[in-house]
Amino acid sequence: MEKAVDTYLNFQNKVKKLSGNTVSSYRRDLYAFAVYLQEKSISYKKVKKTDIYEYISQLQHKGKSQATVARVVASIRNFYHYLCMSGNMKKDPSSGISAPKIEKKLPGILTLSEVDRLLSQPSGTSYKERRDKAMLELLYATGIRVSELIELTVDNLDMDNYVIMFIENGKQRIVPFGNQAHKALELYFESSPYHSEPGISLFTNLYGKKLTRQGFWKIIKHYKVMAAIKKDITPQMLRHSFAAHLMDNGIDNSSLQELMGYSAIASVKKYEELSGKRIVDIYKKVHPRA
């Protein structure tokens, strides 16, 4: 079987142009399967569905994770599909065999109390603390991605109407924010020497350069320690918390998906009917810090 595996891997590497890591994973999985078949005195061309199921069961009994078992099943199926496609076998014994479902971990979220503690940490009057406060408040107030946060310019903000305006694929996306984020932004503007020109990054480092993802990550880690929060907080966790807290307060799925900028959902007609004003009205009713 090893020779057939090597021929298959060579095909995947040179013809399919799969990555080295993927080919290495296939090799490990198929060589291990070959050892199993050898121990059972089964030719790889005489394998039956029951043999594959028994191998899967053995992996599960050994405590292999669902993700690992799913990958092994995929490796075996791809191998036998290749053998049939290349004319080396007439019948695919792996046909119809499905991998075990991989349980998706629920995203970690912060409680309202933890959010309050985290957002209250930058409380000074320096440029840095006011900037940090504005960033944290805005991220939780809007649920935008950290990549969107650091790419914001002054032009994206409509302070009079309490909204951020994005243009995506020629369409406008409106994301509201509440009073506390608005107040934090106003205080930040008072101390920032960099925000007055159009097109300038909204959030900058101490040298007036656009803040990086890594820079913002360090900011969150710093205030997490100050707030004595044991959870491993990430920027994505604030986005998840935004969504979870709005759902707790009764927001409908379509409005939430519009606010969070899920493009696949936004393409559905019923979501296109959500006007900017309707989104703002819904937001004011459900956001804890609106």
CATH of the domain at 30: 1.10.150
Q: Is residue 156 part of a domain?
A: yes
Same domain, 172 and 240: yes
Same domain, 145 and 253: yes
Tell me the C-alpha to C-alpha distance, in Å, between residue 122 and each of 127, 131, 133, 137, 200: 11, 9, 5, 10, 23
- Please choose, from the candidates 107, 111, 149, the residue with its C-alpha nearest in 3D space to the C-alpha of residue 131: 149
Those residues with Cβ within 8 angstroms of residue 251's Cβ, 6 or more apart along the chain or in another chain: 282, 286
- Mind listing the pLDDT tens digit for each residue in 145-182? 888 999 998 888 999 999 998 887 777 888 889 999 99
Q: 227: pLDDT confidence band, cut at 50, 70 and 90? A: very high
Same domain, 139 and 267: yes
Whole-angstrom distance, CA of residue 24 vs CA of residue 272: 45
Same domain, 61 and 120: no
Of 130, 131, 173, 239, which is the active-site residue? 239
Q: Is residue 92 part of a domain?
A: no
Tell me the C-alpha to C-alpha distance, in Å, between residue 21 and each of 25, 34, 72, 74, 177: 6, 20, 14, 15, 43
To the question of pTM greater than 0.75 for the whole model, the response is no
Instruction: Identify the weakest region by mean pLDDT among 87-101, 158-172, 261-275.
Output: 261-275
| Residues spanned by the domain of 277 | 112-286
Same domain, 69 and 140: no
Same domain, 261 and 212: yes
Same domain, 175 and 265: yes
Q: Is residue 31 part of a domain?
A: yes
Residue 93 has pLDDT above 60, yes or no: yes
Q: Is residue 100 part of a domain?
A: no
Residue where one domain finishes, among candidates 85, 101, 130: 85
When divided into structural domains, the chain yields a total of: 2
Q: Is residue 241 part of a domain?
A: yes
Same domain, 148 and 274: yes
Q: Is residue 91 part of a domain?
A: no
Q: Is residue 68 part of a domain?
A: yes
Buried b (16+ CB within 10 A) or exposed e, 197-213: eeeebbbbeeeeebbee
Same domain, 207 and 75: no
Same domain, 62 and 155: no
Whole-angstrom distance, CA of residue 203 vs CA of residue 223: 17
Catalytic, 239? Answer yes
We report the CATH number of the domain holding residue 231 as 1.10.443.10
Of 26, 55, 80, 283, which is the active-site residue? 283
Percent of the residues in the chain that have a pLDDT greater than 90, as a whole number: 18
Q: What is the DSSP letter of 41?
A: T
Those residues with Cβ within 8 angstroms of residue 122's Cβ, 6 or more apart along the chain or in another chain: 129, 130, 132, 133, 136, 223
Same domain, 79 and 145: no
Residue 226 has pLDDT above 90, yes or no: yes
Tokens matching residue 138: 């805005």
- Mind listing the pLDDT tens digit for each residue in 125-150? 898 999 999 999 999 998 888 889 99
Same domain, 151 and 279: yes
Inter-residue contact 30 to 79 (CB < 8 Å):
yes
Q: Is residue 94 part of a domain?
A: no
